[in-house]
Chains A and B, each alone.
Chain A
Amino acid sequence: MTSRTPERPSAQSTVATPARPAVRPAEAVIIAPGIAVRGHLITRGPIRREGPAKLTGDARYADDLVFPGAWYGATIRSNLARARFLALELDPGFDWSTVVVVTAADIPGEPLMGAVKGLTPDQPVLVPVGGDIQHHSEPLALIAAPDRRTLRAARRAATVRTEPLPPVFDPLDSDKVFVSHDVVAGDLAAGFAAADMVLEGEYRMGHQEQLYIENQAMIAVPTDDGGVTVHGSLQCPYYVHPALMRALAIDARQARVVQAETGGGFGGKEEYPSLLAIHASLLALKCHRPVRMIYERHEDIAATTKRHPAVVRHRTGVLRDGTLVAQEIEVILDGGAYCTLSPVVLGRSTTHAGGPYRCPNVRITSRAVRTNTPPNGAFRGFGAPQVIFPVETHLNRIAEALGISPLEIRRRNVYRLGDVTPTGQVLSSSVAGLEVLERAAEAVDFDAARAVTHRARLTGQGWDAVATSPLRSPVRASASGIGIALAWHGCGFTGSGELRYNSIVTIELDATGQVRVLAANTEMGQGTRTILPMIAAQALGIPSDEVEYAPQDTALVPNSGPTVASRTAAIVGGLLVNAARKLRAEVEARNDGRSFARVYREDAARHGASRASDQFKPFPGQPFDEHAFTGDPYPAWGWAACAARVDVDLDTGEVAVREVVAVDDAGVVIHPILAEGQVEGGTLQAVGYATIEEMKVQDGRYLNDRLSTYLIPTAVDAPRITAIMVEAPFDGVPHGAKGLGEMPMDVGAPAVIAAIHDATGIWIDRLPATPERVLAGLTASAGANESGRPGSGGHDRPGGRP
C-alpha cells in the first residue's frame, strides 16, 4: 500500500488524496476521488445528503416533530446511589386525574432489559416499589401531562421514599463481576526470565461523556392495533424494536421504530434509546396519546451512559534493544450499576490491550465489574482508548529507561505481515502499522523535533528549568514537546457479533425506475446517508445522486445491524456491493448485457420492480471462541498513528495541544471530506479525553452534569489537525473498507501525554491530564529532580473532588 502526504500547509487541516494501493484484492471496487462520473471528476466526494437541510434549519430532529395532542413525559429518578425504594407518595392535594403515572407495576412485558440480544437482562425498566435502587438518577416512575406546567406541578407533588443502602464506588472494591477473560499466549515466566528489564505501571482513566449536541429524545405514538410507533434520536432502530416487543409484550408488527434526524451519537445513542423508547411508550399506551420525552442537558448527562472508567496494570519484560518478550496486563472496567454493553466493551479492551505489538509471551486478564454509578456504555473507541493509552504510555517509559527513541521502539515491535496476536490470529493481510507510524513520524519530522527538546534539556533549558517549588514561577513560562502513538483497531464486531446479527441489506429498483438502498444504518453526522449510496452507485455503474437512501424505519428497511463498531462502511458496505452486483447482473442479463446505467429505467418500466439482497456470511479465517478468547476476533485490523505537539504552561499546568498529525488506515477511503471529518472530530474528542474532559463523581452522582461544567475543547482549543489517509484494503469485503470512525479516538490521548512528557519530563498516568495533575507533577518533579529523577503526575491528586 502507498500513501501520500498532503501539500497544502496553509489549510487549517488537510486530507491526503490517497494514491491507489499497488496491490488490490481481485475485483476491487474503487470508490474514491478521481472516478469519472458523467464527465465530471469527483475530487472531494458529493456533498452530504442532509447537509443543506441541517445548515438551513430545515432538518427535523425529534423535538421538531409535531404530533397534535401529544403529552409531555418526565422521569422521576432516585437521588441516592444505592437504596431500597420504599414508596412513591402522591400528594392528595394534586388532581392526579389530569395526568398519568406509570410505575413498574404497569409494565406489561419483561420488567428487566438487556442492552442487546445475548446479554444479561438485569436493568429494571423502572425500579419497582420494594426493589433496590442501584444508581443515582435511576428511573423509578414516569409521569405524562398535557402541558409542561401541569407536568412540573405533578413532579413536585410526587415524593420518593427510600432507605439508603451502602454503595460501592471503587471498581477495585467491587465483588460483582459482570464478565472476565484470561488470554494466555506463550510462556510468561520464561519471557520474564529472558528479559533484561521489567517495568510495571498502573494507569487510570475516568468517565467521558459523549456530549452529542442533541440530547436524548423520543416520541411514542400509540397505534390502533395496540402497538406503538416511536420516533427518536437513535443509532440502532433494531435494538429499540426488540426492546419494545419484550417490555410491552407486543409483536414485531405492533412495534415500529423510526429514526428522526439525529444530532450526534458517538455510542451514546446505541443502547440508551431503548430504555427511553420503552418509557415513552408506557406513558403513551396509558394515556392513549402521543408522548414526548425530550431530555434536557442536565438530565441527559446525569442519567445516560458514559465511557467506562478503567484501571489498567502493565508488567512488561524487554530485551536491551527494546524487543518485547513478556507482557502481563490486567484490565478492570467500571461497568456501573448494570451489565448493559460492558461484556462487549470488555471484549474489545481485552483484544486490544497488548497494543499493535508482537510479543511471544502474553497474559491478559480482564474484568468488568459493578459499581453504584449509572451504567457505562458505548462510546467511540468502545474499550480500546482505555487500553491504548496505558500500553502506549508504558512503552514510552520502557523506551526512556532503555535510552531508545519512542519511534524506534515502535518500529522494532510493531506487528508485521505474518505475525501472530495473543489470541492466535495470524495477521495475513492488510497490516499497515509500520506504514502509519512512518507517515506520522515523517510528517512532523519526529526525530528532529525530539532533538530540539533534547538539546534544550542538555543546555539547562529543559526539564530542570521547568521544575520549581510550589509557589515560584519557573524560569521559563512554557515548554513545548512532541509525542507519538500507535494503535490498532479491530474491524467490526468483536468475535461472533456479526454471526449473531445475520445482517441483511437490500437494494431495489422500483417500478418508477428509482434505485434505493434499504438498510437500517443511521445517519448521525458521520455520513452513512451519503456513503452507502456512493458505494451502491459505484457497484451499479451509475452516479451516486441517482441512488436514494430509504428512511431508517423498521417498517421499511431490513435489519442490517446496528450503526456501531465502525462497521457501516466496512461490513454493511460490503453486503451492499454484493446486493448491488446481483441487481446489476439480473438487470443486465435480461437486457442483452447492456449496461445497467443505460437500461435500468427502461427495465423498470418494462418489468416492474426488482430487488436484490445480501446477507452476512462468515469471513474466512479461524472462528473466534468467545469463552477461551482464541481465534480471529476481527476479520481485519485498522491501523492508526498520531503525532501531537503541545505547549505546557509551566505556571499553571495548562496544556495547549497545538498540532496533531493523524494517520489512519481505513482500508479504503470512500469520501475524503467525510473521512477527514471523522479524523478531525475523533482527534478533538481524544484531545478532550487527554486534557480536560473529567466527570467529577461524588457519592455516585455526576457533579458537573451541565455544559457549563463538563467542559470539552472549543474551536479555539482545537489543534491544527492534519489527516493523512493510508489505504491497506481488506480483502474480506469487495470494496476493501475497514472502518475509520473510532481510530482517531484511540490514538490521540497517548500522543498528547507523550508530548507533555517530552516538554516537562513528567509522566501522567491518569487521564485526563488536567492542569491540577500536571502542576502537581511539575512541583513533585522539582523535589525529585534534586535526586535526579523526574516525578510522576497525577497519582495522589483527587483532581478536584470537593
Chain B
Amino acid sequence: MPVEPPVETPRDLAEAFRLMALSPRTPIAGGTDLMVRITGEIGSPPDQVLDLSRLEELRGIALEDGRLTLGALTTYAEIRRSGLVARSLPVLAEAAATVGAVQIQNRGTLGGNIANASPAGDTLPLLLALEAVIEVGGARGERSIPADQFWIAYRTTALAPDELVLRVRIPLVEARQVRFRKVGTRRAQAISKVVLALAWEQADRKDRWSHVRLALGSVADRPIRARSTELYLEGSRATLETADGAAETVAAEIRPIDDVRSTADYRRQVTARILHRIIRDAGGW
C-alpha cells in the first residue's frame, strides 16, 4: 500500500540547496529506485520528497578540460544516444545499455545510481575504474569526492544529508583501455550477480600494463576496487601466466556472499573467469 509523501519542486539549484538546508529531504530524480521504496514494503518510505526534475543545472554531457562531465540528471538513454560519449568513452554507453531495459533507461539517472549506492549499481565499478570525481554540493558550497572515497559502507555514501550529487567528471586518458562486463540472470531487467570494470594504460599492444584499475560490483557490501589484483597486474603483460595469476589473486581478494541472486562460490569463480577472459582477449592468445 503506497504512501504519498509531500513533494516540492525547486526551480533552480539555489532553491534546492535552501530547501535541503531547512531539513533533509529525499531527492527524486528518475524515481526508479525511490518508487520501489514508496510501497513501504522494502525499507522505510521517504517522509518528504524533493523533485529534481526542473534543475537544468544538473543536466547535460560536455567535454571540459579533457574530462567528460555528466550532469547528475543524465539518463541512461541520453548516455546511449550521446555522440560525445560514443567518441570519447564508448564503454560508458555500453554499460548504460545493460541497465534495466528501455523504460528504466529513459528515466533512471547516473546521479540516482551513484546516490542510491547499491552494491550492484552497474555504473559504479566503471566510475571507480575510470577514477571519476563526483561533485556534490549544498547551501554550504560544492566539493569534489573521488569515486573511491564515495561509497563508504553498505548503501552509505560520503554525501552529507543536505547535499545533492551535482555532476560526475571522468578524466579522458589517451592510451587507456577499458573493459566492462555485467553478469546477470537474464539479458534485461537483471540485477548484477557480478559486474566488472577494468582499465589500464598501454601505448602499444606489446607494452606492459600500467595504471591498472579493477573495480567490481555485487561481490562486497559496496562497489570496490580490487587493489591486490591491480598491483598484481601493474607492469605485467597479457600472458596466460598473468591471467592465471590475476584470476587467482582476485578470487582470493574478494569476499562475496550467498544471497537470493547467486552464491559466493559462483561470484568468486565468475569474477576470476571473466577477468581471465579479458586478459586472454587483450593478449590475443
Q: Which residues of A are interface residues toward B (Cβ below 8 A)?
A: 148, 151-152, 296, 298, 468, 470-473, 477, 651-654, 656, 692, 696, 703-704, 708-709, 711, 713-717, 771-772, 775, 779, 797-802
Contact = CB atoms under 8 A, between A and B. Distances in A.
B270 A652 contact: yes
Find the residue from A151, A296, A652 having the highest chain B CB count within 10 A. A652
Nearest to B250: A471
A564 B266 CA distance: 40
Contacts of B1: 148, 151-152, 296
22 contacts: A152-B1, A470-B272, A471-B251, A471-B269, A471-B273, A471-B276, A472-B247, A473-B277, A651-B276, A652-B273, A652-B274, A653-B270, A656-B187, A709-B261, A711-B186, A711-B190, A714-B186, A716-B101, A771-B183, A779-B269, A799-B263, A800-B258
Find the residue from B193, B260, B261, B269 having the highest chain A CB count within 10 A. B260
Contacts of B251: 471
B244 interface: yes
A569 B1 CA distance: 40
Contacts of A656: 187
B177 to A, nearest CB: 18
A651 B183 CA distance: 10
B186 A704 contact: no
Nearest to B36: A708
A795 to B, nearest CB: 14
Given A471-B273, A802-B258, A772 B188 contact: no
Contacts of B258: 800-802
B248 interface: yes
B243 interface: yes
A399 to B, nearest CB: 31
Contacts of A151: 1
A713 to B, nearest CB: 6
Find the residue from A472, A654, A709, A801 having the highest chain B CB count within 10 A. A472
B243 A472 contact: yes
Which 5 A-B pairs rank lowest in CB-CB distance, beginning with the nearest?
A: A473-B277, A473-B276, A471-B272, A802-B258, A471-B247
B259 interface: yes
Given A714-B187, A775-B269, A801-B258, A472 B41 contact: no
A35 B189 CA distance: 44
A472 B263 contact: no
Contact of B270 (A704, A775, A797, A802): A775
B271 to A, nearest CB: 9
Contact of B183 (A473, A652, A713, A799): A652
Nearest to B185: A711
A796 to B, nearest CB: 11
B244 A471 contact: yes
A711 B187 CA distance: 11
Nearest to B279: A473
Interface string B158-182: 0000000000000000000000000
Interface residues of B, number: 36
Interface in B231-285: 243-244, 247-248, 251, 257-263, 265-266, 269-270, 272-274, 276-277, 280
Contact of A651 (B257, B262, B270): B270
B57 to A, nearest CB: 32
Contacts, number: 98
B191 interface: yes
A696 B189 contact: no
Contacts of A708: 36, 191
A208 B259 CA distance: 19
Contacts of B191: 708
Given A148-B1, A651-B270, A473 B260 contact: no
A775 B187 contact: no
B277 A692 contact: no
B189 A714 contact: yes
Contacts of B187: 656, 714, 716-717
B263 A717 contact: no
Contact of B259 (A473, A651, A802): A802
Contacts of A799: 263
Given A296-B1, A471-B269, 18 more contacts: A471-B276, A472-B247, A472-B273, A651-B273, A651-B277, A652-B183, A656-B187, A696-B260, A709-B260, A711-B186, A711-B190, A714-B187, A714-B189, A717-B186, A772-B266, A775-B266, A800-B261, A800-B263
A714 B270 contact: no
Given A652-B274, A654-B183, A471 B266 contact: no
Contacts of A704: 260
Nearest to B186: A717
Nearest to A799: B263
A799 B189 CA distance: 21
Nearest to B275: A473
Contacts of B261: 709, 800
A708 B191 CA distance: 8
A441 to B, nearest CB: 29
B274 A473 contact: yes
Contact of B188 (A148, A296, A654, A716): A716
Nearest to B193: A771
Contact of A800 (B189, B247, B260, B269): B260
Contacts of B262: 772, 800
Contacts of B36: 708
B41 A298 contact: yes
Nearest to A694: B185
A653 B272 CA distance: 13
Contacts of B185: 692, 711, 771
B5 to A, nearest CB: 14
Given A148-B1, A711-B186, A714-B187, A798 B263 contact: yes
A289 B26 CA distance: 39
B94 to A, nearest CB: 16
Nearest to A148: B1
Given A151-B1, A714-B187, A775-B269, A471 B277 contact: no
